[in-house]
């Protein structure tokens, strides 16, 4: 199966040996995104709301670069450092899905890259 690498300057550059996304057939596998502002390289994390919105904007940019949007997302994984923040994150996350919600799991973890509070990865299908 042929793989196509997706990288766009409108989302943060990878901070390790991975790509923003890989398309394989009709599926797109988007690497976990954190709250890095792609234009400045700075974290957008003054509060959990700003952090969640930046993560979702980064995902949106990568989906767009692959010719998709949130309606194509079939599965998400949310990593958070404090399950007590889940309601705030969930409210913002839900606003990005207009037609239907994808399958999902949410996992509390001890730490995330750059000491952020949330990371989200997605799988999308054409």
User: Can you tell me which residue has the tokens 């000491």?
Assistant: 115
Convert the pLDDT of each residue in 35-47 to its tens digit.
Answer: 999 999 999 999 9
| Domains and their CATH numbers in the chain | 3-125 (3.30.1330.40)
Convert the pLDDT of each residue in 64-104 to its tens digit.
Answer: 999 999 999 999 999 999 999 999 999 999 999 988 999 99
pTM: predicted TM-score of the whole model, two decimal places: 0.97
Q: CA 24, CA 98: separation in Å to the nearest integer? A: 25
Q: Could you give the C-alpha distances from 5 to 31, 67, 71, 121, 126, in angstroms and in order? A: 11, 13, 21, 16, 16
Other Cβ atoms within 10 Å of 75 Cβ, number: 15
Please choose, from the candidates 103, 124, 113, 11, the residue with its C-alpha nearest in 3D space to the C-alpha of residue 62.
Answer: 11
Phi-psi region of 16 (alpha: psi -120 to 50; beta: other; left: phi over 0): beta
């Amino acid at each position: 199966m042929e793989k196509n690498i997706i990288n766009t300057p409108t989302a943060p550059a990878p901070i390790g040996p991975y790509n923003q996304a890989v398309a394989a057939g009709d599926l797109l596998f988007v690497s976990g995104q954190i709250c890095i502002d792609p234009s400045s390289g700075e974290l957008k994390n003054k509060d959990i709301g700003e952090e969640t919105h930046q993560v979702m904007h980064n995902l949106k940019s990568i989906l767009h670069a692959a010719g998709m949007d949130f309606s194509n997302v079939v599965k998400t994984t949310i990593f958070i450092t404090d399950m007590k923040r889940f309601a705030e994150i969930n409210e913002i996350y839900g606003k990005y899905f207009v037609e239907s919600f994808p399958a999902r799991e949410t996992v509390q973890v001890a730490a995330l890259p750059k000491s952020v509070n949330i990371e989200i990865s997605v799988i999308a299908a054409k």
